[in-house]
Amino acid sequence: MLYKLYYLVLSLLCLVIILPIIGIISKLEFEISYLLNFFNSKYNIKIIYITFLQAFLSAIFSCIIAIPFALSLYRHKNSRIIKLIVSLCGYSFVIPSILIVYSVIGIYGRNGLLNDLINFYNLLDIKSLFGLKAILIAHILLNAPFATRLFFQNLNTTPKSYIEIANSLNLGFWSNLNKIEWPILKQNLFSVFAIIFVLCFLSFAIVMTLGGGPSISTMEVSIYQSALFELNFNKAIILSFIQIMICLILLVLGFYKLKGSNFFEIQTNFFDHPFKNHCLIKIFDYLIISIFSIIFFSPIIYIISNFIETIYLQNYFLKKYFLEAFKNSVILSFFTATIVTFIGLIISILLVNSRNNIFLQQILFLISSIILVISPIIISLGYFIILGELRYISLITYAIIIIINCVFLIPFSILILFTKLKNIFLNFDDIKKTFRISEKNFIKIIYPLIQKNLIYIFSFSAAISFGDFTIISFFKNESFQTLPTILYKLITSYRFNEASFVAGFMLVFSLLIYLLFDNSFYKDNPVNNK
């Protein structure tokens, strides 16, 4: 029975990946001369260069900023305020990127909050926000908190014995940092850099909105524009293959070498840091935490404050475009989250049960993992081509967007569930065989043990799909909009009162979903420190 289910799941995964590739290839009119012309174009080379440059600088700055922030949080990790900050750092991974765009314009733009307060533009002689600097600001605001959470998780794997040895040797602050904390951070430094690099490399909404036009464009945006507006599928396909190869290399080097437990869960050692109560260090830590929290969470503060102001101006809740967009967003997020949770559980169980068949396990892992190196833009492009005029049918649009979202969220679901289930099956497999417990009853037994993880996967998937802009951008039209596409339309048409309301509502809704089930509020069981 399990093997039949295995092959069914494998076939479905292959189908949803192969179909869009077939669609893309069907539009290919490839000649070697075109490839030569592509690389002879200075503009095409510039696109590749800008893509690398913005991703590299974003990842570097995010990591540099995140390290002192993570260290300061780690030294005071048992504080409730610190727990909340760490949880919000995790939220940066799921916050809709279009909200970051809105807040960057509102805070750092020429008419933004910062310029109003300190005459920011005249002080630094800034001509315009848009371009590389705006992209970097947005990416750092989005990814530096996420990098902080990754580093914080790494530090929480510090064995208690290390702390005891440091105390017995009476190590000073700098010696403790150099001999214990920095080596732990350093072993995963490249992995964190690689993950953030890929996230910025595949950034779409931020670059398209804040890039300032064709002069600052990336491969992701160029694929979208080449396919939809220029109808130049050859260019889109070449850029797609270059993008896939780069992401594949980086993810192999970075993502799968990330040590420790998965970064969606915070496992906490409950011993106090030896320098927690040192007066000068405490002052320094709280200063770092305060400054970085204000900077990193300024988008959340700005959006919520504007939302409170605009909520009383007009009854936007009853606007037809808002109600329709909200309905579409909720439907997409609910069904996506449900399917991702269910399929992720099925695949994880199959992976655990096939642990004696390494070949089958590796195939399923490969199919699930390959999704991580293919941009949503590429998959969306393939389905866009295949569907043709059918994409204007609402039911088909719903189905395709849900499928694409599921394709990209299922690997994260597996990442969260597989290790958990593997440990459970190792502990209970003998009991299952001894008492001849059926698969159905066995699942009933293990369900309470993974319930928290399933709820987290559901909320995580719902939050991400609710704020998706990349996939929707291919299938939106006047009769089918979601809240992110509505917000983009409002921003680009300078309707900022309405934009403030939509942005605030999106933030509050997705934040509540995330915080309600976030596992970072310290696990029930502390880490084994042996």
Phi/psi at 78 (5° precision): -85, 0
Check whether 483 has a pLDDT greater than 80.
Answer: yes
Residues 405, 468 contacting (CB under 8 angstroms) = yes
Is residue 185 a contact partner of residue 251, using CB atoms and an 8 Å limit? no
Cα–Cα separations (whole angstroms), residue 52 to 73, 267, 409: 31, 34, 25
Residue-wise burial string across 181-198, b where 16 or more C-beta atoms lie within 10 A, e elsewhere: beebbeebbbbbbbbbbb
Report which of 410, 409, 401 is spatially closest to residue 331, judged by C-alpha positions: 401
Q: Which of 52, 98, 50 is nearest to 214 (CA)?
A: 50
Can you tell me which residue has the tokens 């850029």? 239
> Would 33 be classed as within a structural domain?
no
Domain membership of residue 131 (yes or no) is yes
What's the CA gap between 138 and 388, in Å, rounded?
Answer: 34
Q: Region 13-41: what's the mean pLDDT?
A: 73
The DSSP element (H or E) to which 66 belongs, if any, is helix 42-75
Counting the structural domains of the chain, the total is 1
Confidence (pLDDT) at 201:
86
Determine the Cα–Cα distance for residues 90 and 206; give it in Å rounded to an integer: 19
pLDDT score for 62 = 93
Q: pLDDT tens for residues 67-123?
A: 999 988 888 877 788 888 888 887 777 788 888 988 888 888 777 777 777 776 666
What pLDDT, on the 0 to 100 scale, is given for residue 138?
92
Record the tokens describing residue 229, joined without a space. Answer: 């507006």
Q: What is the pLDDT of residue 527?
A: 41
Q: Is the pLDDT of residue 196 over 60?
A: yes
How would residue 370 be classed by pLDDT, with cut points 50, 70 and 90? low
CA 137 → CA 47, 201, 237, distances in Å?
Answer: 19, 15, 30
pLDDT attached to residue 512:
82
pLDDT digits (tens, 9 = 90+) for 177-187: 777 778 888 88
Percent of the chain whose predicted confidence (pLDDT) is above 70: 75
pLDDT of 393 reads: 74
Taking the CB of residue 493, how many other CB atoms lie within 10 A of it?
A: 10
**Mean pLDDT value of segment 38-51:** 84
Residue 63 pLDDT greater than 90, yes or no: yes
* The pLDDT of residue 523: 47
Rounded to 5 degrees, φ, ψ at 297 are: -100, 10
CA-based torsion, 159, 164, 166, 172: positive or negative = positive
Q: What is the CATH number of the domain that holds 391?
A: 1.10.3720.10
Strand extents, DSSP E, 274-325: none
Looking at the domain assignment, is residue 56 inside a domain? yes
**pLDDT tier at 150, thresholds 50, 70, 90:** confident
Give the Cβ contact number of residue 314 at 10 Å.
12
Of 127, 131, 102, the closest CA to residue 207 belongs to 131
| pLDDT tens per residue across span 456-481 | 888 888 888 888 888 888 777 777 88
Burial 297-309 (b: 16+ CB within 10 A, else e): bbbbebbeebbee
Which of 385-389, 424-428, 515-519 is least confident?
515-519
Residues paired with residue 477 on neighbouring β-strands, in sequence order: 480
* Residue 189 φ/ψ region, left for φ over 0, alpha for ψ in the -120 to 50 degree band, beta for the rest: alpha
Residue 529 dihedral angles phi and psi, to the nearest 5°: -95, 10
pLDDT in tens, 318-360: 678 888 888 889 999 999 999 988 888 888 877 777 666 566 6
Inside any domain, residue 430:
yes
| Structure-model confidence comparison of residues 147 and 213, the more confident one | 147
Give domain status of residue 525, yes or no: no
**pLDDT on residue 23:** 75
For residues 514 and 93, give the distance between their C-alpha atoms in angstroms, rounded to a whole number. 11
Specify if 34 maps to a domain.
Answer: no
- In DSSP terms, 480 is beta-bridged to 477
Mean pLDDT, range 234-251, rounded to an integer = 77
User: What is the chain's mean pLDDT, rounded?
Assistant: 77
* Range in 350-359, 481-490, 516-525 the model is least confident about: 516-525
Range with top average pLDDT, 130-144, 178-192, 202-216: 130-144
527 is a domain residue: no
| Percentage of the chain modeled with pLDDT above 90 | 7
Are residues 224 and 239 in contact, defined by beta-carbon separation less than 8 angstroms? Answer: no
Torsional class of 125: left (φ above 0), alpha (ψ -120 to 50), beta (otherwise): left
- Average pLDDT for residues 515-528, to the nearest whole number? 50
Q: For residue 358, what pLDDT is reported?
A: 63
Nearest to 95 by CA among 348, 354, 382, 297: 297
Residue 61 has pLDDT above 90, yes or no: yes
Distance CA 384, CA 474 (A): 7
Domain carrying residue 307 = 2-26+48-517
Give helix 233-253 / helix 189-201 axis angle, nearest 10°: 170
523 located within any domain? no
The CA-to-CA distance between both ends of the chain, in Å, stands at 40
